[in-house]
Amino acid sequence: MNERDEKQQGRCLCGAIEFEASRLPLWIAHCHCQSCRRNTGSAFATFVGLPEAGSRYLTGTPRVFASSPGVRRSFCENCGTPLAYAADRFPGEVHVYVSTFDNPDAFPPELHVYVAEAIGWLHLDDGLPRYRTTSRDAAPIE
């Protein structure tokens, strides 16, 4: 059994919210969309797509912000750590920020999404497939 098969835990910066994921990831991706960049204050965000049924909060309850129609972003109201993304267009999934896991190395990225919105000065030569929007919407580019 590899570490991705095991339960993985994580938390916010202050520790008020702790969570657990007990199912294998559906995918792991770098997202370059403007909304995720603004939410994290970084050049891109890295998510683990998980079945919602296999994820749960162990302590604390995150605040939820409706960042756009059908999109909910969870965060710790104490320290501001972004925790998760959920959207009506991805039913049954929760997208958790890789950096909030205790062992983020268990989730190496597999692809890039929303590269059409990527910051122009960011150049990552990692060889991963890149998608103009999501990997569900089109074939990889480049």
pLDDT of 2 reads 52
Q: Using an 8 Å Cβ cutoff, are 100 and 83 in contact?
A: yes
Q: How far apart are the first and last CA of the chain?
A: 35
Give the pLDDT confidence score for residue 86 in this predicted structure: 97
Find the DSSP H helices in the chain.
34-40
CB 142 within 8 A of CB 123: no
Q: Which CATH architecture has domain 6-28+46-107?
A: Beta Complex (2.170)
For residue 142, what pLDDT is reported?
A: 62
pTM of the predicted model, to two decimals? 0.90
Identify the bridge partners of residue 17 per DSSP, sorted by sequence position: none
CB 67 within 8 A of CB 99: no
The label of the residue with tokens 């965060």 reads: 75
Kindly give the parts of the chain with pLDDT less than 50.
Answer: 1
